[in-house]
Chain A
Amino acid sequence: MRRLRAPGGEALTAFTISAARLVLGALFLGASATKVPDMAAFAESVANYRIVPPALVPAAAAAVVGIEITASLAILANVWTRAAAWVLAALLAVFTAGLSSALARGIDLACGCFGGSSPATWSTVLRDLVLLALAVLVALSARARTASPSPRPDAASPS
């Protein structure tokens, strides 16, 4: 049985994935940009989660910011998109787990998400879950495109 596709369906899907890619990239690039001016404060935010050993907190904070910068630039430029999307998904999974763990333990802490002092709440967790879903969507679509490349028009007609 043939599957019927709505006209423009593929274009809509491609648009959705591109939009998700750009939203993720812009958000993470913006988030990292707010952290760089005060890395010490971000390290304190990381410490307040009480997940990373204190001695490793500054290195972990620097790594998070650097990975955010690199992955967001890659995903915006559509270079290494699949890897960048999985890296962002992994970051978001860690953020979500850390936030949930802290909130479940009753730790009153600032999110640290955008370099400010806004308190972490369950709505922050929900936001991260939505972003995680977007990152997985981008990663899976990039893999699908890699796994089944469209035939090159000149492949069948050697000159």
Chain B
Amino acid sequence: MALLAALGSAVGVAANAVSPHPAVLGRAVLSAAEAGGGSCSMPASEATSSAPWRATRISVDEAKGLCTACLAGFVDARGPHEFAHGHIANAIHLPPVGHPDEGAAVAQLRAFPLVVVYDGEYSCAVADDVAARLKHAGLTDVRVLQGAWPAWVAAQGPAAAGMCGVCGLPEAKP
């Protein structure tokens, strides 16, 4: 049994060496919580994966810049309680179950060159679903916030909910 485990470990090191995206042996890997960046990252194998469609990710730093410059529309895909408790300023609430006036919401988002969707889940699965819906509705550049809501909060501290307060939602484009 020990021999098998030792042999397996050697095979594992070899497999890691031939992996297109190896783990760097000897370099510490922190958990998402310890790293402060949240999770919900896109695996490098995504391009070749047969998993369900997933939106392109956008980092919190990049999203912050776009938000401050009013260059992105934000969509909160969490539940109503989470949204009421706090959300990215001026984010539109588009829960997975749908929006009472989805057409108007999409029209508002159409005014932005880029739309960022976020949820509060590790997998970003809910945000991916909503992003797919928006893509289907005709929005061209829809991305999912890497690290989800916790990463946004962690990056901004207590004032996160007040970010981008000057950004008003532009008039809807027909």
Interface residues of A (CB under 8 A from B): 32, 36-44, 46-50, 53-55, 57-59, 61-71, 74, 80, 83-84, 86-87, 107-110, 115-119
Indicate if B15 sits at the interface (CB-CB under 8 A): yes
A48 with B24: in contact, given A63-B8, A63-B9, A70-B4 (CB under 8 Å)?
no
Pick the contact of A36 from B15, B31, B51, B122 — CB < 8 Å? B15
Q: Could you write out 19 A-B pairs with CB less than 8 Å apart?
A: A39-B15, A40-B23, A47-B32, A47-B34, A48-B33, A48-B39, A49-B31, A54-B34, A62-B13, A62-B16, A66-B9, A66-B13, A66-B15, A67-B5, A83-B3, A84-B4, A109-B32, A116-B51, A119-B123
Say which one of B42-50, B66-74, B166-174 lies at the interface with A. B42-50
Q: Which residues in B have their C-beta under 8 angstroms from that of A87?
A: 1, 4-5, 8
Q: How many residues of B contact A (CB 8 A)?
A: 44
Indicate if B21 sits at the interface (CB-CB under 8 A): yes
CA distance A27 to B51 in the complex (A): 18
| Contact A41–B25 (Cβ < 8 Å) | no
Residue with the greatest number of chain A CB neighbours at <10 A, chosen from B5, B14, B30, B51: B5
Q: Chain A nearest CB: distance from B119 CB in Å? A: 12
Q: Which residues in A have their C-beta under 8 angstroms from that of B3?
A: 83
